[in-house]
């Protein structure tokens, strides 16, 4: 048995989780934990695990955390029988790298609860299985628990991952607290439990694409982004990308953050240009920035409602408005109420959570009311996937549209990413250079750029802007210095683009120009995620509350050549609110890899385009028709459109 764990200094630890289990259930949690270990260790471990459960609300089995450094190593350094298994080790270790992960001691990569494994013994066992496995076996992971290696075939995925799959009626937030504390499920977020996280680069790219396209919606022809204001909130894990993305887009970003430490950290890292602690200074600085049409990002330390209200009084026009506070967890500190300092509110949350909840609800109503004042004056406000509209509506804010079904404001997917990207198949394709060599990353950037420039020469006007944005992104990728952890890159591409880039990588690997490459994507994509208030919010045929697309995607990818597949409950918008899946694929330069990438990437994108087309989204109908012309073997059911007048007279 390894010695007791000594915690490293200054490491960011996960908050204590809810003490939700009854005494009997706590015994079950300990019994569950001990089944990993020989009986002679039980008495020592039982009391240690009981102490962990008391102190942290979960059993992390810290003692079994390896003493070696967790980080992505070059692929050939992994002692495996299967190169594909080595690719998984690399990606798992990257997600747990202390430079990458949010709470590395608790195996949390991002999002507060995005777990890679539930505990350290699951990590140790999984790595052991991966070291042993051959290309004729598949490892099945149940929410981090390695159920075992099963015989399969070379064409099967090496690993099948499920996270948080629940019987639907047991998918309330407290069910996660309970079953996670029992040690039988986990919240994998999107790319945490699927080993596909690439640090902050992913969110900076996604936010850049969102802001660029949002401005396109509101600017008149010939008008530029210079001097226009983007007002938002949050400088945390993901939200911290907003000022950096705002700078890349060329606007004035004002980002409020209640937690001074979070804002100061982002300032030190160079992610936000200016820190401002009071409203008069903020107004003066914003007016100067407007006058000079500066590209600048400003962090205001305080509640975002204060900024919305003072900009209203001062008649400072906000062109784009959004919010990225953590409203997927509104009652546990994700959203801070107005009228209290950060410390006062934190104390209230600990001592009087009921009152904290009431204050949050009150604030959400006030927040929505002042946004309305701005939108009346022409501000374009969008929900940025943090459940702002959902929670504001649940708090009783005046935020519903006249039909009482939709919200007054769109989500960023409804208005921006859905019709402008996802419906055409454009989504967050990513890759990791498994050699760990920066020169490989630069070579892959050059390959991807050349493929996209070639595609843009003959691409139809409908997708030109998306291609151009990503050409610009990849040209500047190196100078934007976004790489943390593994040597990874992201860009948005459609099915054709993803396949052509991947094929060019595989060719370069075969010619020994670069080392092996792991392909993947964010789950936040065209086909992988069913999420009615986010990824599939622009589906209007009533099917946005179904999850067939995500399930088809993971099954479809699994038999078309993915190295691993994953399907998760929860991610971004919350447990029970979304089903999302993804894949990983190792390219090794072989002809088999070439076949696999074509078959799987084609389906991985076009599954969602077909579903979006069936939902009558005109951009998707265009994209799937175009795909059918290119691919005679593809036959997709197309919708017939119905005359509105015919329906009006029926009921
Ligand atoms: N759109 C996307 O693609 C996308 C991607 C990732 C995350 N998200 C969502 O965005 C949200 C934020 O994610 P994160 O990782 O940055 O979370 P986080 O908790 O790390 O950061 C949120 C920040 O908001 C601050 N905050 C809370 N209430 C505030 C208030 N009233 N005024 C000003 N600041 C306030 C908090 O102090 C915190 O620093 C989550 O709900 C997440 O699910 C969306």
Pocket test for ligand 1, best of 236, 310, 331, 525 (most atoms within 8 A of CB): 236
The mean pLDDT value of the chain amounts to 96
pLDDT higher than 90, residue 574: no
Helix spans in 300-352 (H):
304-313, 342-351
301-347 confidence digits (pLDDT tens) = 999 999 999 999 999 999 999 999 999 889 988 999 999 999 999 99
Whole-number Å distance between alpha carbons of 13 and 10: 9
* Ligand 1 centroid – CA 234 distance (Å): 5
515-550 confidence digits (pLDDT tens) = 999 999 999 999 999 999 899 999 999 999 999 999
* Ligand 1 centroid – CA 328 distance (Å): 9
* Ligand 1 centroid – CA 334 distance (Å): 7
Radius of gyration in angstroms for the set of CA atoms belonging to the chain, rounded to a whole number = 24
pTM value is: 0.92
22-71 confidence digits (pLDDT tens) = 999 999 999 999 999 999 999 999 999 999 999 999 999 999 999 999 99
Block residue for tokens 């960011």 = 12
Locate the ligand 1 atom nearest the alpha carbon of residue 326 and give its number. Answer: 41
Give the residue from 515, 535, 558 showing the smallest Cα distance to 194. Answer: 558
DSSP string, 368-393: HHHHHHHHHTT-EE-B-SSSHHHHHH
- Determine the angle formed by the axes of helices 438-458 and 461-480, rounding to 10 degrees: 160
At residue 114, the pLDDT reads: 94
The DSSP symbol for 394 reads: H
Whole-number Å distance between alpha carbons of 325 and 257: 9
* Ligand 1 centroid – CA 111 distance (Å): 9
* Ligand 1 centroid – CA 219 distance (Å): 27
Evaluate whether 541 touches 632 at the Cβ level (below 8 Å). Answer: no
Whole-number Å distance between alpha carbons of 566 and 551: 10
DSSP string, 42-103: HHHHHHHHHHHHHHHSS---GGGS-SS--SPPPGGGS--S-HHHHHHHHHHHHHH-TTT-SB
Pocket test for ligand 1, best of 14, 205, 326 (most atoms within 8 A of CB): 326
Give residue ranges with CB within 6 A of ligand 1.
111, 203, 206, 233-239, 256-259, 262, 303-304, 324-328, 334-336, 384-386, 524, 572
Contacts 24+ apart (CB under 8 A), 103-107: 103/12, 103/13, 103/14, 104/11, 104/12, 104/70, 105/7, 105/8, 105/11, 105/13, 105/14, 105/60, 105/62, 105/65, 106/13, 106/14, 106/56, 106/58, 106/60, 107/60, 107/144
Whole-number Å distance between alpha carbons of 427 and 626: 17
Residue 425's region, left for phi above 0, alpha for psi from -120 to 50, else beta, is: left
pLDDT higher than 90, residue 481: no
The structure tokens listed for 260 are 């001074």
Q: Whose CA is nearest to atom 39 of ligand 1?
A: 236
Locate the ligand 1 atom nearest the alpha carbon of residue 328 and give its number. Answer: 41
Q: Whose CA is nearest to atom 43 of ligand 1?
A: 572
* Ligand 1 centroid – CA 335 distance (Å): 8
Q: Whose CA is nearest to atom 20 of ligand 1?
A: 236
CA separation (Å) from 100 to 11, 95, 96, 199, 250? 12, 7, 7, 6, 28
pLDDT higher than 90, residue 200: no
* Ligand 1 centroid – CA 239 distance (Å): 5
* Ligand 1 centroid – CA 241 distance (Å): 10
581-601 confidence digits (pLDDT tens) = 999 999 999 999 999 999 999
Evaluate whether 189 touches 593 at the Cβ level (below 8 Å). Answer: no
* Ligand 1 centroid – CA 389 distance (Å): 14
Q: Whose CA is nearest to atom 25 of ligand 1?
A: 234
Locate the ligand 1 atom nearest the alpha carbon of residue 386 and give its number. Answer: 41
């Amino acid at each position: 048995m390894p010695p007791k764990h000594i915690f490293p200094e200054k490491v960011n630890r996960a908050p204590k989780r809810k003490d939700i289990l009854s005494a009997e259930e706590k015994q079950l949690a300990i019994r569950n934990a001990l089944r990993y270990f020989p009986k002679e260790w039980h008495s020592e471990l039982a009391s240690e695990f009981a102490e962990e459960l008391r102190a942290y609300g979960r059993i992390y089995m810290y003692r079994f955390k390896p003493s070696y450094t967790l980080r992505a190593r070059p692929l050939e350094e992994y002692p495996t029988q299967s190169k594909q298994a080595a690719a998984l080790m690399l990606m798992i270790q990257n997600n747990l790298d202390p430079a990458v992960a949010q709470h590395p001691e608790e195996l949390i990569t991002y999002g507060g609860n995005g777990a890679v494994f539930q505990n350290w013994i699951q990590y140790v066992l999984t790595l052991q299985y991966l070291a042993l496995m051959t290309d004729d076996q598949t490892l099945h992971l149940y929410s981090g628990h390695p159920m075992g290696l099963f015989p399969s075939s070379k064409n099967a995925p090496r690993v099948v991952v499920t996270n948080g799959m629940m019987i639907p009626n047991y998918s309330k937030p407290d069910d996660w607290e309970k079953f996670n504390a029992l040690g039988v499920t986990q919240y994998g977020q999107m790319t945490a439990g699927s080993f596909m996280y690439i640090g902050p680069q992913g969110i900076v790219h996604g936010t850049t694409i969102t802001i660029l396209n949002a401005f396109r919606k509101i600017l008149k022809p010939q008008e530029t982004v210079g001097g226009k204001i983007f007002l938002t909130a949050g400088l945390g894990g993901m939200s911290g990308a907003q000022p950096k993305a705002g700078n890349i887009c060329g606007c004035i970003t004002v980002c409020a953050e209640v937690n001074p430490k979070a804002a100061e950290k982002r300032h030190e890292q160079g992610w936000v240009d200016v820190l401002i602690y009071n409203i008069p200074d903020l107004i003066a600085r914003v007016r100067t920035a407007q006058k000079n049409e500066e590209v600048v990002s400003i962090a205001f330390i305080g509640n975002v409602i204060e900024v919305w209200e003072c900009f209203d009084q001062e008649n400072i026009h906000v062109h784009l408005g959004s919010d990225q506070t953590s409203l997927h967890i509104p009652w546990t500190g994700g959203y801070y109420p107005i009228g209290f300092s950060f410390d006062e509110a934190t104390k209230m949350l600990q001592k009087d959570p009921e009152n904290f909840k009431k204050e949050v609800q009150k604030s959400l109503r006030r927040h929505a009311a002042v946004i309305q004042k701005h939108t009346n004056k022409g501000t374009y406000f969008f929900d940025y996937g943090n459940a702002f509209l959902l929670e504001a509506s649940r708090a009783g804010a005046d935020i519903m549209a006249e039909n009482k079904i939709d919200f007054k404001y769109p989500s960023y997917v409804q208005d921006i990413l859905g019709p402008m990207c996802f419906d055409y198949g454009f989504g967050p394709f990513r890759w990791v250079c498994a050699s760990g060599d920066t020169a490989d990353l630069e070579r892959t950037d050059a390959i991807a750029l050349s493929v996209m420039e070639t595609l843009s020469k003959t691409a139809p006007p409908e997708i030109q802007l998306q291609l151009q944005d990503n050409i610009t992104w990849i040209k500047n990728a190196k100078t934007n210095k976004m790489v943390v952890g593994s040597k990874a890159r992201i860009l948005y591409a459609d099915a054709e683009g993803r396949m052509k880039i991947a094929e060019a990588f595989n060719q370069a690997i075969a010619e020994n120009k670069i080392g092996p490459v792991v392909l993947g994507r964010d789950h936040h994509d065209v086909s992988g995620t069913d999420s009615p208030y986010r990824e599939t919010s622009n589906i209007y045929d009533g099917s946005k509350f179904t999850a067939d697309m995500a399930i088809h995607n993971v099954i479809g990818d699994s038999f078309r050549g993915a190295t691993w597949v994953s399907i998760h409950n929860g991610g971004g918008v919350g447990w029970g609110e979304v089903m999302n899946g993804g894949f990983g694929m190792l390219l090794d330069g072989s002809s088999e890899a070439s076949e696999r990438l074509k078959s799987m990437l084609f389906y991985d994108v076009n599954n969602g385009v077909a579903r979006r087309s069936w939902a009558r989204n005109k951009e998707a109908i265009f994209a799937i028709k175009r795909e059918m012309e290119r691919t005679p073997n593809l036959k997709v059911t197309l919708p017939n459109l119905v005359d509105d007048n015919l329906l009006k007279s029926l009921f």
